[in-house]
Structure 1
């Protein structure tokens, strides 16, 4: 099976069928966990299955992209109190090794309905089709340069080199569509004493017109994880999804958030 097929099989076994026998065949025994609340190793995940089943947890996967041994899922979890709230939007990243899931990173945020977002878009709707596979490397480089110049603050004036001035569909619940919406949101955060600053990007996964990044930084003075998904069209970023969460000082393992 491909890395994407292996990961999807694991997710179905864990979060749809809650099948410990099937699930036990999919992760490596020394599975490396980066979710701050879950101990490392395969055994803790399998041990959570009865409680997750009893809670009525459901998972809906909206987007899947893969590059090399890394697979990214963009999902919604319902009845997800075990994950932090009734409805949670998540990016899960899995690393596959020797046909098994070997490592996991994630970032979850409470869902905000479209009726209450600045753009009128939900956190998960929008384009889903992966295309332009021949442009994967080109699109990856575009987003890498955007992260370096704009998100890391090296040359923020270059923003229009990367983001379309005509179409920029926003799914962050606090940000309106278009470059004007982004600028207004960043200004409002700064004025509220909560400026957003990226300091390092740890993961980049690209497939066709979609590019995912996992970064750390600060929201105000709070250590924060930023997981972003960008859609690229005709050499410009035209759509953006994300989840943002605090990086806790104490975790259930020593692996760190990244």
Structure 2
């Protein structure tokens, strides 16, 4: 998918609204990193309060896309652009489906509608001393899934905070190590696991077989982030000589992978894959 006429922070920012789940608060030191990111979405992106940007964003804020406007000035430019667009309708449903935090890293998973198209988005923010310091993302258009029981973004959203994040991460790491070793880690997938990736479900294959046989992906993992029973993998791969950024969300249950979502996006022309990370 090629997006040429929108600020590069992420398409999700165009229609984020002043949604209820985020606890808006400008007393930054009283909020968790997750709450800070949600408040940033609500107050600055949703409500266009550009005057609050210095409370949330570092001066040298980095967009991990060389073609994106950099720094706090880049965010300010984006918000000024948003001010030229209509505000979302009051009471509109939040596009943020799930939010996952480990330390200074916060991941959001979004489902948005834009210009008649449906997009799934994963945003990854890095915070330093409670301020937004960096951002990565991937945006993918998905087919119409009206009426389907399982879609690209639905399913479990609440994190089981009693689950061990380290154990969840170990299971996903073991799954990926098997994939990298070109082995079939079927024992790490629940027999009745739920697959949300339309590209995988269209093949009729389970995730392990899909990753091993469909594209012969040369996968490189950059980050693994976990909270409770949820694990996010940030990686890259190549298909037909083209580089892609690839984000996956796993939910672990009973020592196995129980649910899976993903978002992939081609690296923009003229950009090296490594520069996206």
What is the TM-score when the length of structure 1 is the normalising length? 0.83
For 1:132-211, what aligned pairs fall within 5 Å after superposition?
132-150=161-179, 152=180, 154-157=181-184, 159-164=185-190, 166-176=191-201, 180-182=205-207, 190=214, 195-211=215-231
For residues 170 and 233 of structure 1, the distance between their equivalents in structure 2, rounded to whole angstroms, comes to 14
Match of 1:100 in 2: 131
Aligned match for 2:39, one of 9, 24, 32: 9
With 234-243 and 170-179 compared, the bigger mean Cα shift is at 170-179
**Residues paired across the two proteins, number:** 242
For residues 266 and 82 of structure 2, the distance between their equivalents in structure 1, rounded to whole angstroms, comes to 23
CA 212–23 in structure 1, closer or farther in 2 if over 3 Å, else same: same
For residues 91 and 172 of structure 1, the distance between their equivalents in structure 2, rounded to whole angstroms, comes to 13
For 1:102-141, what aligned pairs fall within 5 Å after superposition?
102-115=133-146, 121-141=150-170
Question: Could you tell me whether the CA contact under 8 Å between 1:169 and 1:178 is conserved in 2?
Answer: no
Match of 1:46 in 2: 76
What is the TM-score when the length of structure 2 is the normalising length? 0.78
Question: Could you tell me whether the CA contact under 8 Å between 2:234 and 2:246 is conserved in 1?
Answer: yes
Aligned match for 1:220, one of 230, 240, 254: 240
Question: Could you tell me whether the CA contact under 8 Å between 2:249 and 2:260 is conserved in 1?
Answer: yes
Q: Deviations over 1:68-98 (max 9, x none)?
A: 110000012333x6xxx84321111111111
Aligned match for 1:91, one of 86, 105, 122: 122
Structure 1, unmatched stretches of 5+, are none
Query: How far is the alpha carbon of 1:220 from its aligned partner?
Result: 2.7
Question: Could you tell me whether the CA contact under 8 Å between 1:169 and 1:177 is conserved in 2?
Answer: no
- SS of 2:250's partner is strand
Cα-Cα RMSD: 2.8
Question: Could you tell me whether the CA contact under 8 Å between 2:60 and 2:133 is conserved in 1?
Answer: yes
Query: How far is the alpha carbon of 1:111 from its aligned partner?
Result: 3.1
For residues 211 and 47 of structure 1, the distance between their equivalents in structure 2, rounded to whole angstroms, comes to 33
Match of 2:263 in 1: 243
With 203-212 and 47-56 compared, the bigger mean Cα shift is at 47-56
- SS of 1:126's partner is coil
* Stretches (4+) displaced over 3 A: 53-59, 177-187
For 1:30-45, what aligned pairs fall within 5 Å after superposition?
30-35=60-65, 37-45=67-75
The answer on 1:26 being equivalent to 2:53 is: no
For residues 211 and 75 of structure 1, the distance between their equivalents in structure 2, rounded to whole angstroms, comes to 16
For residues 113 and 229 of structure 1, the distance between their equivalents in structure 2, rounded to whole angstroms, comes to 21
The answer on 1:60 being equivalent to 2:80 is: no
CA 179–133 in structure 1, closer or farther in 2 if over 3 Å, else same: farther
Match of 2:91 in 1: none
- SS of 1:114's partner is coil
Q: Deviations over 1:119-165 (max 9, x none)?
A: 85211100011105341110111111212221x2x1422x123111x
Question: Could you tell me whether the CA contact under 8 Å between 1:112 and 1:122 is conserved in 2?
Answer: no
CA 233–37 in structure 1, closer or farther in 2 if over 3 Å, else same: same
For residues 39 and 18 of structure 1, the distance between their equivalents in structure 2, rounded to whole angstroms, comes to 18
